[in-house]
Amino acid sequence: EEMYKSMHSVGEQNINIQRHSVDKILYSKPSALNGEVCRYSKLCVLSSAAFVEAFVNSIGWTEAELRTDIGSDIREELRGTKANRYISLEKKLELYPRLIRLDGKSPIILSDEKQKKEPFISFLHETKELRDSSMHSSPGKAQIWLPPQKWLEFAQRSVKNSLGVAKEFWKACYPNREFPTYLEQLNETTLHNNACARIELLAKCIVTGK
């Protein structure tokens, strides 16, 4: 977001300069910022998708370690495998609440397209698909050659999608528990403000050398 603001600021400074008088250094600034916006936005999408996987895995593994009332087969599934094969993220999101809850039910249904709901639809069909395409690009996957504005929009939506999925998954597993305090209760505003504060602190450190 800061890079995007800087890119437009540099562009506005150059708007009145004649094209023939713009030197290579002046032109390189918005070009470099353009690339940085796309790069950081793509990393945000990748990190958002990775966060959901890590969050789901951490809950499954914790249950596998702490529960004494489950069999070895369920323990194996909570650790992410079944018959020595890895369980997909989509399957974990639907399966783990059923394994964790005392009533054995899962309010998350992803195996049936007609029963899929938000924010899982947006996360799986936008954030995760963009992540997959960025890691293993091919003609049949999501388009990743995008302008900075579009990448920034995807980055911002990926955060909302991922936090939304994390919240729904947590509620599905633990309907009577508050959201985890170690993750600022998955509050987007608080997390965003924390990130902005870190950026401001880093900027001051760079300027002052302290």
When pLDDT is averaged across residues 118-134 and rounded to a whole number, the result is: 93
Tokens 């920034």 -> residue: 152
Mean pLDDT for the chain?
Answer: 89
This prediction's pTM:
0.86
| Peptide bond preceding 175 in cis form (omega within 30 of 0) | no
pLDDT band per the 50, 70, 90 thresholds, residue 35: confident
| Across 195-202, average pLDDT | 91
The pLDDT value recorded for residue 33 is: 79
Check residue 58 and give its pLDDT. Answer: 98
Q: Which two tokens stand for residue 149?
A: 């504005």
**Separation between Cα atoms, residue 165 and residue 197, nearest integer Å:** 25
pLDDT in tens, 137-183: 777 777 778 888 999 999 999 999 999 999 999 999 999 999 999 99
User: Is the pLDDT at 20 greater than 60, yes or no?
Assistant: no
pLDDT in tens, 71-113: 999 999 999 999 999 999 999 999 999 999 999 999 999 999 9
Mean pLDDT of 54-67: 97
Q: How confident is the model at residue 23 (pLDDT cuts 50, 70, 90)?
A: low
> Are residues 96 and 25 in contact, defined by beta-carbon separation less than 8 angstroms?
no
Give the number of other CB atoms < 10 A from CB of residue 38.
21
Given pLDDT bands bounded at 50, 70 and 90, which one contains residue 186? Answer: very high
pLDDT of residue 8: 64
